[in-house]
Amino acid sequence: MEVSLFEPRIPQNTGNIARSCAAFNIPLNLIEPLGFKLEDKYLKRAGLDYWPLVKINKYKNFERFLESKYSRRIISFSKKNGTYLKDFKFQKDDVLLFGREDTGLPESIIDKSDVLISIFMPNLQTKQFDKKGVRSLNLSVACGIAIYEAHKQINSKNSN
């Protein structure tokens, strides 16, 4: 399994996600352009001293990323009408793809993915019913939830 961030903008989120990747021994793919430099102090601080444990792969653009993953399932995450996370079955070679903090994943990127997943939120803001609620989860929180669920499914026989 791998985690991929499409054009991340906030260094603290990427640092937190890198820490989760280190904890689960998962590579982190960063798809440029990034909204920060990899030397950013906030990025480093959020990742603490775990950076040596994170395998980071950088890609100049989404096309290069997609070419390198041609034989793997790309699993996109969005709040927009995806299969709920609890109803999806992960495979060990899946590549989890998350969008920018400000705009999420563009439809053109979602269309090139194999599957779209959404994380159920009981208090989701909806225009359909004029309901006020939460618009979205923080990127690092959504990523952590997805990593945990995928890891749990893939390793259920070996987990303690």
96 forms bridges with which residues in the sheet? 3, 75
Distance CA 20, CA 42 (A): 16
Tell me the average pLDDT of the chain: 87
C-beta separation of 1 from 26 below 8 A: yes
Q: How confident is the model at residue 160 (pLDDT cuts 50, 70, 90)?
A: very low
d(CA 157, CA 132): 41
* Cα gap 67→104, rounded to integer Å: 21
Q: Per-residue pLDDT averaged across 147-155, rounded? A: 94
What is the residue extent of each domain of the chain?
Answer: 2-154
Comparing 8-12, 71-75, 90-94, 96-100, which segment has the lowest mean pLDDT?
Answer: 8-12
Q: Is the pLDDT of residue 22 over 70?
A: yes
- Backbone φ and ψ of 146, nearest 5°: -65, -45
With a pLDDT cut of 90, the percent of the chain lying above it is 63
* pTM for this model (two decimals): 0.88
pLDDT of residue 68: 95
pLDDT of residue 18: 93
**Four-way CATH pick for 2-154: 3.40.1280.10, 3.40.710.10, 3.30.413.10, 3.10.129.10:** 3.40.1280.10
The CB density around residue 113, as the number of other CB atoms within 10 Å, is: 19
Q: Is the pLDDT of residue 111 over 80?
A: yes
Q: Which of 56-65, 101-110, 115-124, 147-156 has the lowest mean pLDDT?
A: 115-124
Report, as an integer, the average pLDDT of 79-91.
91
| H helical segments located in 41-106 | 41-46, 62-68
pLDDT at 123: 59
Whether residue 54 has pLDDT greater than 80: yes
The β-bridge relationship of strands 56-59 and 74-77 is unpaired
- The answer on pLDDT for 138 being more than 90 is no
> Is the dihedral angle over the CA atoms 70, 18, 10, 76 positive or is it negative?
positive
Model confidence over 38-49: pLDDT tens digits?
A: 876 766 776 667
